[in-house]
Amino acid sequence: MSLEITFLGTGSAFPSPARGASALVLRREGQCWLFDCGEGTQTQLMRSHLRAARISKIFITHLHGDHFFGLPGLLCTLSLQSSPDASRAPVDIYGPLGLRSFLWRSLELSHSQLLFPYTVHELVPTPDQCPAEEFKDFSGWDRGEGVPQGPAGRVLHLDPGEDSYLLLEDEQLVVRAFRLFHRVPSFGFVLEEKPRPGKLDVQKLRDLG
């Protein structure tokens, strides 16, 4: 399995002429996975060797603007570069509780209609992930406000036994989120490659001594 990481932005709090806001891309098996999407991420993508159209998964660490304010614009730009395709797999977006509402409202208020499907998988934080005065419970947002019109997706809770959130798993790897402690609920992401069986014929080696 080949993995390649490209840093698109390493700035903090606000972008500068030399450093964009937080964003990096993991390229894997021809797909691009984007981690954080600060303001200006799509411009940085255009300057890179990467193809934005290959983005299939997006992971948002926390809901501070320098880590996700670029997301609605990026999705709209990807849509402008797309053609309608009912068979296209949705772009999966993972992030803290509240992200689904933010995206839904941003796209609705700007009258943006994406030509591809997307799903938002929200991680439910625990209150001890940030100072008590900063913790906000977004679980009741949009209740009774036409939520079915919003994007589909799962609501993921902490697995106490693993102390993590299982996001996805395939034949090659497992992706989990784990809690970080910041001024707002935050998450880190771990990609764990599964053991790969060797190709040696052990019995033949034994026979040959």
| 3-state SS class at 16 | coil
Catalytic residue from among 66, 142, 201, 207: 66
> What stretch of H or E contains 81?
none
164 and 149 Cβ atoms separated by less than 8 Å:
no
* Known active-site residue 66: yes
Alpha-carbon span 123 to 105, nearest angstrom: 19
Secondary structure, 3-state, 137-204:
CCCCCCCCCCHHHCCECCEECCECCCCEEEEEECCCEEEEEEEECCCCCEEEEEEEECCCCCCCCHHH
**Residue where the block lists tokens 């990807």:** 78
Q: List active site positions.
A: 66
